[in-house]
Amino acid sequence: MSAISTIVRKELLDAKSNRWLYLYAGVVALLGGVIAETGIHAGGAISLQVFGRTTATLVNLCLFLAPLVAITLGTGTISSERDQGTLEQLLAQPITRSELLLGKYLGLWTALFLATLIGFAPAGIMIGLHASLSEAFHFLLYPMLSQLLISVMLSIGILISVRAKSRAQANAVGIAVWFIFVLAYDILLLGSLSIISLPANALAGMLFLNPVDASRILSIITLEPDLYVLGPAGAYLVDTFSSTGAALMILISLAMWIIAPLWLALRSFNLKKSTMTNPKRAFFFSFAKSAAVCTLIVSLASCGDSKKSDDSENDDAGKSSSEIAVPVVFKADVANLEKGKALYQTTCAPCHGKEGKGDGPGAANLNPKPRDHSNGAYMNKLTDDHIGNVIRKGGAIFGYPNMPSQPQLKDDEINALIAQVRTLAK
């Protein structure tokens, strides 16, 4: 442990002259202060809504900057020492290769942790002066979430650094990985979804393949589990496992993203003649590890649903037929069409419009726009049960992010609404 602590101190001393850390802390501090100040003045006082928007904006800022800084520092750990010819000098000291690598990881992790706290400090102070004490403490959670993502990207960066042949190669691969996780992954995923419709559980599984997306969903769940912001994948996890269960699953996946690359880096660094010198293979090997975790999680989700079904059957076995809960199956109730028309005007028309064309007064600020219920070519392809479930559960789980849930409506009211939607589609 003494050898590791020595390396940690060395990394902290080197961090004092690292321009990346100063730039990261300075940008977060400057933009964070501006965001907090704007939010406070926009709300007159730091209301819960303003507090949520301010912290959410800060989290998004860190989801963009923190991975870049972390992976850039990680890719330089071993590759730079190798290029400078100092790696052999370090290994000649009474220290093992594992101690050297772990010491560098912990040292950089600590430096990034301090830089993150410094970056969040101005916004935190401003929010603390205008918010309640509980909200100020709640704000401290967001530097921790950023540090969790930093831990992931630092592990990946160190793995790349160990496998790369030079510092330039390590930096190039690191930037490419950052670009894929932060930008390209979502673009490619959205492009694929426009061609292939995937179920919500498959989208939830793909969420765990990208630690940046997983961290974003975790921050939203922690801040305010809003189905419209979570998106289909996050909404599916929350709806299936609850907010606590979804957060726990994401934490486990991020832990695997930290452990797997770091373990591979230690294993490779301890081999005198590694046969895996290609950084692309190193990255995809780590990626495959996390994909396995993703598959396991999705399997657990399916097992959880099956277990619920089995439990329900066991519970129902001792009940009479009148006591057994029958799943709700929605169907258009034409007899109550007048009730459906009235409900539509109060519940749906504000966004979908009086005639269901998606041109209601609330549609102006929505993107995507509300569904055009008068489009029979599309609406008549949907089953009554699907329409009813969208009304009851909200559209986020089904890929309609702006459609709110209506849990207060009774089954007969939903059936009446379905009949009205069918009338508009004709």
Report the pLDDT value the prediction gives residue 302, as an integer from 0 to 100. 42
The pLDDT assigned to 173 comes to: 94
Which of 43-57, 95-109, 236-250 has the weakest average pLDDT?
Answer: 43-57
pLDDT on residue 308: 42
> Does 400 fall in a domain?
yes
**Distance between first and last Cα of the chain:** 75
In this prediction, residue 136 carries a pLDDT of 60
333 closest CA partner among 414, 241, 248, 235: 414
Torsion of CA 138, 255, 257, 213, to 10 degrees: -30
**pLDDT over threshold 60, residue 353:** yes
Based on the structure, what is the number of domains in the chain?
2
Shared domain check, 369 and 266: no
Are residues 231 and 131 part of one domain?
Answer: yes
Residues 260 and 166 in one domain: yes
What percent of the chain lies above the pLDDT cut of 90?
A: 17
Does residue 341 register a pLDDT over 80?
yes
**Average pLDDT estimate for 15-21:** 81
Q: The tokens of 340 are what?
A: 């459906």
User: What is the arithmetic mean of pLDDT over 95-115?
Assistant: 91
Residues 316-330: pLDDT tens digits? 444 433 333 445 678
pLDDT of residue 277: 42
Confidence band for 265, pLDDT divided at 50, 70 and 90? very high
* Dist CA 166 CA 159 (whole Å): 13
Predicted local distance difference test score (pLDDT) of residue 307: 42
pLDDT over 50 at 397, yes or no: yes
* Confidence label for 377 from pLDDT (cuts 50, 70 and 90): confident
Q: Inform me whether the pLDDT recorded for 152 exceeds 90.
A: yes
User: Does residue 23 sit in the same domain as residue 120?
Assistant: yes
pLDDT at 73 over 50: yes
Query: pLDDT (tens digit, 9 = 90+) per residue, 204-229?
Result: 788 888 898 888 888 777 765 554 45
Task: Give yes or no for a contact between 146 and 66, defined as CB atoms under 8 angstroms apart.
Answer: yes
Check residue 306 and give left, alpha or beta (phi > 0: left; psi -120 to 50: alpha): alpha
Q: What pLDDT sits at residue 335? A: 86
Which pLDDT band, with edges at 50, 70 and 90, does 39 fall under? low
Whether residue 305 has pLDDT greater than 80 = no
Q: What is the pLDDT of residues 268-299, one digit of tens each?
A: 998 744 444 444 444 454 545 544 444 444 44
Instruction: With beta carbons less than 8 A apart as the criterion, state whether 114 and 198 touch.
Output: no
- CA neighbor of 425 nearest in space, from 330, 328, 339, 340: 340
The CATH number linked to 362 is: 1.10.760.10
Q: Domain containing 409: what range?
A: 334-425
Same domain, 46 and 129: yes
User: What is the Cα–Cα distance from 308 to 318, expressed in whole angstroms?
Assistant: 17
> When comparing pLDDT for 326 and 164, which is higher?
164
DSSP 346: I
Mean pLDDT of all residues belonging to the chain: 76
Claim to verify: residue 301 and residue 342 sit in the same structural domain? no
Q: What is the mean pLDDT of residues 368-386?
A: 84
pLDDT score of 170 more than 90? yes
Domain membership flag for residue 17: yes
Alpha carbons 131 and 43: distance in angstroms, whole number? 12
Contact 98, 13 (CB under 8 A): no
Mean pLDDT of 47-76: 72
Residues 6+ apart with CB under 8 A from 171: 72, 75, 76
Q: Are residues 346 and 277 in the same domain?
A: no
Residue 364 lies in a domain: yes
Q: What is the rounded CA–CA span in Å between residue 421 and residue 377?
A: 13
The pTM of the full predicted model, rounded to 2 decimals, is 0.63
Is residue 365 in a domain? Answer: yes
* pLDDT for the residue 117: 86
Contacts of 317 (CB under 8 A, 6+ apart): none
For the chain, percent of residues with pLDDT exceeding 70: 71
d(CA 331, CA 402): 23
Mean pLDDT within 169-174: 93
Between 282 and 341, name the one with better pLDDT. 341
- Per-residue model confidence as pLDDT tens digits over 380-392: 878 888 888 888 8
Q: Which amino acid is at 121?
A: A
Q: Nearest 5 degrees, angle CA 119-CA 122-CA 124?
A: 95
Q: Residue type at 358?
A: G
How many whole angstroms separate alpha carbon 205 and alpha carbon 208? 6
pLDDT of residue 190: 62
User: Do 157 and 216 reside in the same domain of the chain?
Assistant: yes
> What values do phi and psi take at 93, rounded to 5?
-80, 165
Instruction: Give the separation between CA 296 and CA 287, rounded to whole angstroms.
Output: 14
Whether the CB-CB separation of 176 and 185 falls below 8 Å is answered with: no
Claim to verify: residue 345 and residue 299 sit in the same structural domain: no
pLDDT, residue 71, reads 94
Final residue of a domain: which of 284, 305, 326?
A: 305
